Amino acid sequence: MSKTDVRAFQIEYESAESTEVASPISTREVIAEANIEESLYGKNKPRRVTIDRKIAYDQDKTMSSE
């Protein structure tokens, strides 16, 4: 893909994305969601999260640092 093709694709992608965001319905939904979240301040209880995760060793990084 040439540079011109990439730019054309970017413009097409960005304009498609901006149309979606600019929709008045989605804006209202976002505001409603924010209000719901705000009204919940102080209503939740503390919660515990416990995680056991395998460490992914990065061999290449170890070798390059050596």
Partner 1 sequence: MTKTKRCQVNKAIRVDSGQEDRISQGDIYKEIEHIEYVFEKDGYIHYSKIIFPLVIVLTQDCDLAQDSMFRGFRGVKGKTQDKVLISALVAPIYNADHVFAGTHLDDIHKKHLNDVGQESQSMEIIWPDRTPGKFLRKNERCRYHYLEFPNDIPIVPSIIDFKHYFSVNIEQMNSNRKEHFVCRVSDMYREDLSLRFANFLSRVGLP
Interface ranges with partner 1 (CB under 8 A):
38-39, 41-55
Nearer to partner 1 by C-beta: 22 or 55? 55
Provide the minimum distance between the beta carbon of 61 and partner 1 in the complex, in angstroms, as a whole number. Answer: 16
Q: Compute the distance between CA of residue 21 and CA of residue 17 in angstroms, rounded to an integer.
A: 7
Question: Rounded to 10 degrees, what is the CA torsion of 21, 22, 24, 27?
Answer: 40
Residue whose CB is less far from partner 1, 16 or 49: 49
What count of Cα atoms within 13 Å lies in the side-chain half-sphere of residue 8? Answer: 5
Q: Which is nearer to partner 1, 2 or 50 (CB)?
A: 50
